[in-house]
């Protein structure tokens, strides 16, 4: 085991991690900052995969209040309102910084202003983008900024667990594992940021970067952090179907629906008329995903087990201009979206629940921060498209600034040697012939069928039993004496973390006996007037999950403030209905 030290340790390689590193370096250039990226620097995480864009109030006819209210309505009114307000009010500053300091370029209108398009669930066209390749633009520029600041990046290095001081009072580092060398690194740090991304790859169908395995969430739970609303996992309605390829589940983003794309079942019906006749395909992601899933389950799906996205009427010229990445991606597997409907399926997309943080990204553990999908509360029960990358950028900046601001309170402390040894012992060589890759497929099927788009007490009970079985089988996976470059070892660690996150989702889903946003209970299909609470989970002394419910804190808006008309983006018509109801 190698011993190193830094001032700030950032675990993650996506937008939140890189932005935090940049802001921390700019706040104090003398600090030693380390970014440990599980994947390749600049290529890791899901920010690079963002197509839709970044929600921000720029137009004079838009307002913070409108963006805020859309976010709360979309979130089923259970958002942490202070976090949502931080997102909305700081998003413009970050766009200005991205363009004017970091060199990002976003699509323009004819008059030179930034173009903003419609994404579902919003009352104004406020999504800034670079065609459908927004994430590549962001990550390319952020990577450049990290490099010119000479911030140390550790490539293909994962966090194994967090480390505490000898008195177990604060996090003061992490045990890291270098994938290629197989060497363990005990990295001491005065502040640690978890920005590793969520656990969407827990599910059988997902567009998420496959190195994401809920590592930060699992480490946070084992360390004792409190979690909020872990039942809320977002499914995107239109994941591409590409047979058994890993491309199945890759998102065809909702700008296509915002521009007027149609969703059809195998009979050619625009089935959203059954579920949300006012908004149709522009309904929120939770409703559209659930509607597609129900069409498939009712036997109205395609032979590939999906539905169809039809954008032929938008024209090839428009598609090539607005969505060149998606157009080429479809062509690469034999579909021309300009001439034929594209088979799609709901796909596990985004973790809305996570560690509870304050408006400075501090978790409930001193010294530990979280941002991006490792943190919960911003989106409530359903994330609006375009709010995800905005969250990563805004709260990455918040975390970077806050860690530097609070460092004087954090004297350097050596991580507990005994704890480091205990964690390292989990990776000692042992015999075993169970196949972790087979178990991973089993876990994906369990999550999809039992913890997925539609749930019930029965399905959640079956999930608990299946998770027990998989966890027991996991004990039979061997650990090689030589850890260098061992894919099976990393899959074993991935599985441990994913099973842990799955248990948190299951526990929270049992606690919420209603349907709200992305959480749909078949046995409780209505949205309850008594459902305005948040679910909280933490680790009990015996290692089990302690669960609680607490009323939502309405610090800026009351539910009655959000009743009434909601404008459909791009339409003059208004839908007179509370936008936060989840009945379909």
CA distances from 535 to 215, 217, 331, 447 (A): 21, 16, 43, 20
31: exposed, middle or buried (C-beta count within 10 Å: 0-12, 13-18, 19+)?
Answer: middle
- Determine which helix (DSSP H) or strand (DSSP E) holds 116, and give its type and residue range: strand 116-117
Q: Rounded to whole angstroms, how far apart are CA atoms 514 and 523? A: 8
The answer to whether the beta carbons of residues 251 and 537 sit under 8 Å apart is no
Q: Rounded to whole angstroms, how far apart are CA atoms 345 and 328? A: 19
Q: Does the active-site annotation cover 262?
A: no
- Residue pointed to by tokens 């019930």: 456
73, 126, 129, 257: the active-site residue: 257
46: exposed, middle or buried (C-beta count within 10 Å: 0-12, 13-18, 19+)?
Answer: buried
236, 290, 362, 483: the active-site residue: 236
The answer to whether the beta carbons of residues 202 and 502 sit under 8 Å apart is yes
Q: Rounded to whole angstroms, how far apart are CA atoms 355 and 349? A: 18
519 closest CA partner among 499, 505, 538, 498: 505
DSSP string, 389-438: HHHHHHHHHHHHHHHHHHGGG----PPPHHHHHHHHHTTS-EEEE--HHH
Q: Does the active-site annotation cover 257?
A: yes
212: Cβ contacts below 8 Å, ≥ 6 apart: 45, 46, 196, 197, 198, 199, 200, 201
307: Cβ contacts below 8 Å, ≥ 6 apart: 263, 264, 265, 266, 271, 292, 295, 296, 301, 343, 344, 345
- The residues assigned a catalytic role are 236, 257
């Amino acid at each position: 085991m190698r011993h190193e030290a830094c001032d700030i340790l950032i675990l993650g390689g996506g937008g939140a991690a890189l932005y935090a590193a940049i802001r921390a370096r700019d706040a104090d250039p003398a600090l030693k900052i380390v970014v440990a990226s599980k994947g390749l620097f600049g290529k890791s995480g899901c920010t690079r995969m963002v197509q839709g864009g970044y929600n921000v109030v720029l137009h004079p006819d838009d307002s913070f209040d409108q963006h805020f209210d859309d976010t709360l309505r979309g979130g089923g009114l259970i958002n942490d309102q202070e976090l949502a307000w931080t997102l909305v009010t700081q998003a413009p500053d970050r766009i200005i910084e991205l363009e004017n300091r970091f060199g990002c370029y976003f699509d323009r209108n004819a008059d030179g202003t930034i173009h903003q398009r419609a994404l579902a669930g919003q009352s104004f066209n406020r999504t800034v983008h670079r065609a459908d390749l927004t994430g590549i633009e962001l990550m390319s520029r952020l990577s450049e900024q990290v490099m010119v600041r000479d911030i140390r990046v550790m490539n293909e290095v994962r966090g194994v667990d967090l480390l505490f001081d000898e008195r177990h009072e604060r996090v003061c580092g992490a045990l890291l594992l270098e994938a290629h060398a197989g060497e363990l690194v005990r990295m001491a740090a005065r502040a640690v940021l978890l920005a590793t991304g969520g656990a969407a790859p827990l599910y059988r169908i997902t567009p998420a970067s496959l190195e994401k395995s809920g590592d930060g969430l699992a480490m946070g739970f084992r360390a004792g952090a409190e979690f909020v609303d872990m039942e809320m996992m977002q499914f995107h309605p239109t994941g591409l179907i590409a047979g058994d390829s890993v491309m199945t589940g890759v998102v065809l983003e909702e700008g296509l629906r915002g521009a007027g794309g149609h969703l059809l079942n195998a009979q050619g019906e625009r089935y959203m008329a059954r579920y949300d006749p006012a908004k149709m395909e522009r309904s929120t992601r939770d409703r559209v995903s659930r509607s597609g899933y129900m069409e498939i389950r009712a036997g109205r799906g395609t032979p590939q087990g999906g539905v169809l996205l039809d954008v032929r009427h938008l024209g090839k010229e428009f598609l090539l201009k607005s969505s060149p990445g998606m157009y080429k991606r479809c062509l690469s597997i034999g579909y021309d979206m300009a001439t034929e409907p594209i088979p799609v399926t709901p796909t596990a997309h985004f973790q809305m629940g996570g560690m509870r943080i304050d408006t400075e990204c501090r978790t409930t553990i001193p010294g530990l921060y979280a941002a991006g999908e490792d943190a919960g509360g911003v989106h409530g029960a359903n994330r609006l498209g375009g709010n995800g990358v905005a969250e990563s950028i805004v709260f990455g900046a918040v975390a970077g600034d806050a860690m530097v601001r609070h460092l004087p309170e954090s004297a350097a402390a050596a991580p507990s040697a005994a704890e480091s040894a205990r964690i390292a012992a989990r990776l000692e060589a042992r015999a075993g012939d169970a196949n972790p890759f087979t178990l991973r497929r089993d876990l994906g099927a369990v999550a999809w069928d039992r913890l997925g788009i539609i749930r019930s007490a029965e399905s959640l009970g079956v999930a608990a039993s299946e998770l027990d079985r998989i966890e027991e089988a996991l004990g039979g996976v061997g650990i090689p004496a030589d850890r260098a470059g061992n894919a099976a070892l990393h899959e074993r660690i991935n599985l441990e973390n994913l099973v842990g996150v799955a248990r948190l989702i299951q526990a929270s889903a049992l606690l919420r006996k209603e349907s709200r946003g992305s959480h749909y209970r078949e046995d409780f299909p209505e949205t309850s007037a008594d459902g305005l609470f948040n679910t909280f989970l933490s680790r009990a002394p015996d290692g089990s999950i302690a669960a609680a419910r607490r009323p939502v804190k309405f610090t800026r808006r009351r539910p009655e403030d959000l009743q009434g008309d909601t404008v459909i983006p791009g339409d003059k018509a208004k839908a007179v209905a509370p936008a936060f109801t989840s009945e379909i």
